[in-house]
Amino acid sequence: MKITDASMTRFGRFGGQFVPETLMQPLKELAEAYSRLKVDPQFRGELSALLSNYAGRPTPLYLAKSLSRELSRKVYLKREDLLHGGAHKLNNVLGQALVAKTMGKTRLIAETGAGQHGVASAMVGANLGLDTEVYMGEVDIERQKMNVYRMELLGARVIPVRSGSRTLKDAINEAMRDWAGSYETTHYLMGTVAGPHPYPLMVRELQSIIGTEAREQILKAEGRLPDSVAACVGGGSNAMGIFSGFLQDEATKLIAVEAGGRGTSSGLKIADHGACLNLGEDGVLHGAMTKILQDPYGQILESYSLAAGLDYPGVGPELAHLVEVGRVTPAIADDGAALEGFRRLSVLEGIIPALESAHAVGFALKDPEALGEIAIINLSGRGDKDLATVMEHEGGEGI
């Protein structure tokens, strides 16, 4: 293992590149290419055209009138649920795939848990003409048949992972192993602000369009900045995306809502939640120092959330840092609160949120005082994908 501590690869004591030697070269090439391309007018023009014409940006900032009335304050929703694919993930995969293509790569590899990032990767692979292979744990393949079919329909190949717990964290390990041997032709498309440098930085910058738009939109609507911005946190990419627009506005409270799952009892072999910022410990996962769920021997614990996208035993290193320095406030919403958010937003606004986003809504319903007078909730995705999960959870009642 090599530990690089060049300060630019870190956020305080978090981040870095805790990877085998074989990954240092591809990471270096990627970091160099990305820092060159992100200021290149032609690249920026191409990405911006794709974001508007293929993905559907800008997304609206919507004043949720009934929710506002219920909470006795103004609540705006940033509508990433309206982005092509139904979630914010496309902002990141489009940018990375375009970087890969410009670097001359012909193949994308990605990992996926519930399949959402795999589907987004398959979409851009098809759109930009890149071969796409997606590593997915056997257990997840069994649980997520529709998304496996979607990926195949989009022309991607799904590679089953049989190691470890046969879920997301093992799929990430396999994808990294593939990349160490294939980087001359292949780009590894990381799905969130986790992993070794430059991924946390690059993914945050690609998602920062959410925050840039939201800041302009709220200033136009209200003539002032919001008192708070809340977002759900799995790995942290939609949260870092919207927060980055307001980081310098000290008076705007940034609230990171993690999955409380079934409850927050720690010390179990299988963790009952995904709340790394609230309850995690320092450790290294997937190439970065961050807050993770681990047992006393440093073995990674399995996380749990009803929302598959929040079911990750680590969190982006920059978020860990921002919580540590007090800029971001960590919060928790459990499965029950998320289901409440899911139902209330559907009834009040005619918007069915993703179960992930429903955590941020559930938190707002539980603790409206924390939002101040004007708040933005990042609606990271739409809930169509979650209907079966919710119906099953509620014993088939619901249709």
Q: 310 or 331: whose CB is closer to ligand PLP?
A: 310
Q: 238 or 303: whose CB is closer to ligand PLP?
A: 238
Minimum gap (Å) between residue 371 Cβ and ligand PLP: 19
Minimum gap (Å) between residue 239 Cβ and ligand PLP: 6
Minimum gap (Å) between residue 373 Cβ and ligand PLP: 26
Q: Would residue 380 show up in a list of annotated catalytic residues for this protein?
A: yes
Q: 98 or 242: whose CB is closer to ligand PLP?
A: 242
- Out of 74, 89, 253, 291, pick the active-site residue: 89
* Counts of helices then strands in the chain (DSSP H, E): 16, 14
Minimum gap (Å) between residue 352 Cβ and ligand PLP: 12
The tokens for 372 are 């101040």
Query: What single-letter DSSP state applies at residue 60?
Result: P
- Phi and psi at residue 153, in whole multiples of 5°? -60, -35
DSSP assignment string, 69-124: HHHTSEEEEEEGGGSTTSBTHHHHHHHHHHHHHHTT--EEEEEESSSHHHHHHHHH
Long-range contact set of residues 249-252: C-beta below 8 Å, sequence gap at least 24: 249/225, 251/225, 251/227, 252/225, 252/226, 252/227, 252/228
Q: 28 or 393: whose CB is closer to ligand PLP?
A: 393
Distance of CA 180 to CAs 85, 109, 175, 192, 255, Å?
A: 30, 12, 9, 19, 36
Q: Would residue 357 show up in a list of annotated catalytic residues for this protein?
A: no
Minimum gap (Å) between residue 331 Cβ and ligand PLP: 14
- Out of 80, 111, 205, 349, pick the active-site residue: 111
- Residue 307: name the closest of 362, 268, 265, 351 by CA: 362
Minimum gap (Å) between residue 45 Cβ and ligand PLP: 26
Q: 310 or 365: whose CB is closer to ligand PLP?
A: 310
Minimum gap (Å) between residue 180 Cβ and ligand PLP: 24
What is the C-alpha to C-alpha distance for residues 373 and 246, in angstroms, rounded to an integer? 16
Taking the CA atoms of 272, 277, 280 and 285 in sequence, report the sign of the dihedral they define: positive
Taking the CA atoms of 180, 184, 188 and 193 in sequence, report the sign of the dihedral they define: positive
Q: Would residue 111 show up in a list of annotated catalytic residues for this protein?
A: yes
- Out of 121, 208, 244, 380, pick the active-site residue: 380
What's the start-to-end Cα distance of the chain, in Å? Answer: 52
- Can you tell me which residue has the tokens 């720690």? 266
> Which residues contribute to the site for ligand PLP (CB under 6 A)?
87, 89, 116, 192, 232-239, 309-310, 354, 356-357, 380-381
Distance of CA 158 to CAs 109, 150, 388, Å?
A: 10, 10, 22
Residues in the chain: 399
Minimum gap (Å) between residue 334 Cβ and ligand PLP: 16
CB-CB contact of 81 with 380 (8 Å): yes
CB-CB contact of 236 with 315 (8 Å): yes
Instruction: Return the exposure string of 162-192: e unless at least 16 CB atoms fall within 10 Å of the residue's CB, then b.
Output: eeeebbbbbbbbbbbebbbebbeebbbbbbb
Of all residues in the shown chain, the one whose CB is closest to ligand PLP is: 381
Q: 135 or 183: whose CB is closer to ligand PLP?
A: 135
Q: 43 or 317: whose CB is closer to ligand PLP?
A: 317
- How buried is 3 (Cβ within 10 angstroms: 0-12 exposed, 13-18 middle, 19+ buried)? exposed
Q: Which residues are catalytic?
A: 89, 111, 380
